[in-house]
Amino acid sequence: MTDYSKYSFWLETSGDDLTPRPALQHSVDVDVVVLGAGYTGLWTAYYLLKANPDLKVAVVEKEIVGFGASGRNGGWCSSKFPVTPGMLERRYGQAAARVLMLAMNDSVDEVERVCAGESIDAQFHKGGILTLARGEHHLPMLRSAFDAYCRLGLSQQYRLCGAPEAQERVRVTNVCGALYASENASIHPGRLVRGLAQAFEKRGGVIYERTEVTNFEGGSSPRLLTPAGEVHARHAIVLAGESYLTRLAKLHRAVLPVYSLITLTEPLTPAQWEQIGWQNRESLASCNYTVDYLTRTADGRILFGSRGAPYRLGSKISDEQDRHAETHARIQQLVLEWFPMLKGVKFTHAWGGPVGMPRDWMPMTEFNPATKIATARGYTGQGVSTTNLTGRILAELILGKRTTFSQLPIAQRYSPAWEREPLRWLAVRYMQNAFFRIDDAGKRGKPKPVDAAFAEFLGRH
């Protein structure tokens, strides 16, 4: 039997023994069936039952609840959307961008409300986000993000801080300034996803674990196909498998699995915390293209996440990529570069997982009443609170409701497919390499590489 606690510190400490629930044994009929027991699938299923307790809703999961990104992430429950405010403004206009940003704020609060209402001890802590400029070259990025938030009328929740204020909050090397964003929390991802599953079951929902969906059909007889039988759904099938959806032939090019990896320190001593500061437990990031995200955990460890594990031809997903030794070693090095006072600290955990990147960077949430197929996916690295929003939208769309949520720019939209291989591999490996070179040049105070503008244009979102 698989030891699921090995997949992340969060699953290991979820307060649950992770024994799989029974698998599907034979074909069944329900009202709505969901593929995937991560946040997207569970939020959708939860809100469906909350709105209509008489519905029969089932979730089918290949492994166990929280096996995917939902049980492995960095713990940021943030109002940050996968697409930057500037890009949202350009694509949808100021009014729509602002409404979406406010809906993201509300999703952070909604996660807290549900945790309180359902007694889920997800260690919700609203400490905000501090995005650090580590070098002068990062300052224009902070200024441009701040200006975009101001244009959307959100200046009251963002503040540009000078180096002294940033350093007072947290002692990180080479900090020249920061952007503070108040409407963000950190959570224990494993407790959230496992608790959400229990809340869904308390309302009468059923979860089949260790049951792989091998195909799906929409139309007059919508259903999920598994080796043990079919799950027929009267109203809708919901495809909520994020990056793992690429394993289904029909969705192979729907998103791009990009690996994000994490290392975790041992719990730090009070003396070490005294040196570091970070008393408000803000989520921390830099402006690097290779992405750095940090969380001070409730039990006093530093979680440091970053990208770097190379994209594999054919969108391959495997356990071996979660443990890409070179990337984990680089992240450990980064911990010491950011916090030199931690020389000699022990790293107790290392894991990772794929995030699903859509071709146009924008998550999609869609229900087609003709095919009865619903899906939400493509959060890149910003899915903890975004899935709460998409779950609420999908539930509304499936139930035929029309509210402000289903009018948001992420509702009823479809992202284009990624290019075929080997073009996909060539382009993604080029971008991964270019982002490393741009960050490295910035760190060394050198001019950007000659192809930087091209890479930045391609990666603009």
Ligand X SMILES: Cc1cc2nc3c(=O)[nH]c(=O)nc-3n(C[C@H](O)[C@H](O)[C@H](O)COP(=O)(O)OP(=O)(O)OC[C@H]3O[C@@H](n4cnc5c(N)ncnc54)[C@H](O)[C@@H]3O)c2cc1C
User: Which of 44-52, 64-72, 112-120, 128-136 is the region at the interface with ligand X (rule: CB under 6 A)?
Assistant: 64-72
- Spatial distance between the Cα atoms of 408 and 402, rounded to a whole number of angstroms: 11
Of 44, 55, 75, 210, the residue at the interface with ligand X (CB under 6 A) is 75
Q: Examine residue 242 and tell whether it contacts ligand X (CB under 6 A).
A: yes
Per CB under 6 A, the list member of 177, 205, 222, 241 interacting with ligand X is 241
Among the listed residues 20, 74, 308, 358, the single contact to ligand X using CB under 6 A: 74
Distance CA 152, CA 99 (A): 9
| Min separation Cβ 405 and ligand X, Å | 17
What mask, x for binding ligand X by CB under 6 A, covers residues 13 to 52?
----------------------xxxxxxx-----------
391 binds ligand X (CB under 6 A): no
Question: What 3-state class would DSSP assign to 350?
Answer: strand
Contact between 456 and 347 under an 8 Å Cβ cutoff? The reply is no
Stretch 171-200: interaction string toward ligand X, x if CB under 6 A: ------------------------------
Select from 71-79, 92-100, 101-109, 174-182 the region that touches ligand X (CB under 6 A).
Answer: 71-79
Cβ–Cβ < 8 Å for 243, 321: no
Rounded to an integer, what distance in angstroms lies between the CA atom of residue 180 and that of residue 160?
A: 6
Please tell me the distance from the alpha carbon of residue 80 to that of residue 285, in angstroms, as a whole number: 12
Question: Is the link from the previous residue into 267 a cis peptide, with omega within 30 of 0?
Answer: no
Stretch 257-286 residues interacting with ligand X (CB under 6 A): 260, 262
DSSP of 21-35: PPPP-S-EEEEEEEE
Please give the C-alpha separations between residue 262 and each of 86, 259, 437, in angstroms, as whole numbers.
Answer: 28, 10, 21
Residue 387 binds to ligand X (criterion: CB under 6 A): yes
| 352 makes contact with ligand X (CB under 6 A) | yes
| CA proximity to 352, closest of 70, 82, 67, 73 | 73
Residue type (1 letter), 185: A
Select 94 or 412, whichever has its Cβ closest to ligand X.
412
Q: Binding mask 363-382 vs ligand X (x if CB under 6 A, - otherwise)?
A: ----------------x-xx
| Shortest CB 41 distance to ligand X, Å | 6
Question: What are the distances in angstroms from CA 256 to CA 124, 417, 428?
Answer: 30, 9, 9
Tokens of 222: 């919508």
The DSSP result for 14-75, as a single string, is SSS--PPPPPP-S-EEEEEEEE--SHHHHHHHHHHHHH-TT--EEEE-SS-TT-SGGGTS--
- Total residues interacting with ligand X, rule: CB under 6 A: 42
User: What track of x and - describes contact with ligand X for positions 200 through 229 (by CB under 6 A)?
Assistant: ------------xx----------------
Name residue, tokens 């005294």: 274
What residues between 314 and 343 interact with ligand X by CB under 6 A?
Answer: none
67 is a site residue for ligand X (CB under 6 A): yes
Residue closer to ligand X (CB basis): 62 or 424: 62
308 binds ligand X (CB under 6 A): no
Among 63, 183, 209, 366, binds ligand X (CB under 6 A): 63
Please give the Cα distance from 394 to 388 (Å, whole number): 10
Question: Could you tell me the smallest distance in angstroms from the CB atom of residue 297 to ligand X?
Answer: 12
Nearest to ligand X of 231, 442 (CB atom):
231
Binding interface with ligand X (CB under 6 A)? 35-41, 60-63, 67-70, 72-76, 78, 212-213, 240-242, 244, 248, 260, 262, 293, 305, 352-355, 379, 381-384, 387
